Amino acid sequence: MTAYDKNNIFAKILRGEIPCKKVHEDEYVLAFNDINPQAPVHILVIPKGAYVSIDDFGANASESEIAGFYRAVAKIAQENNLAAGGFRTIANTGLNGGQEVPHFHVHLLGGRSLGPMLAKAA
């Protein structure tokens, strides 16, 4: 696992150096609209702690950070009317996962039927 880069774009958003369209904030998370939405609702949920990826977060975050993060994901889904109709969460991880920003984040996507999970494998 690569070391955390404190100059990644989500770290800058957390420090308030770059603006975001905030939808939720609490002690553990910041959630904001994705700048390039792939669905009518496309929210990114990021922990406030410095974790590169979901495996870093799962291995190294405290119990309260992990609980706080996933409780916030559930709350944000409810608050944005995603829960009743269903939605998708994605955590792209590393090179094969196509992760672009090396600060752990969950994509919350919904607002329409999202189709198959992945394009057919080549």
Active site residues: 105
Please report how close the Cβ of residue 92 comes to ligand AMP at its closest, in angstroms. Answer: 3
> CB-wise, 35 or 62, nearer to ligand AMP?
35
Contact by Cβ (8 Å): 107, 89 = yes
Q: How many angstroms separate the CA atoms of 28 and 46, rounded?
A: 9
Site for ligand AMP in 30-59 (CB under 6 A): 32, 34-36, 44
Contact by Cβ (8 Å): 29, 49 = no
Q: How many C-beta atoms surround the C-beta of residue 39 within 10 A?
A: 18
Is residue 27 at the binding interface for ligand AMP, with CB under 6 A as the rule? Answer: no
Residue ranges binding ligand AMP (CB under 6 A) = 9, 18, 20, 32, 34-36, 44, 92, 98-101
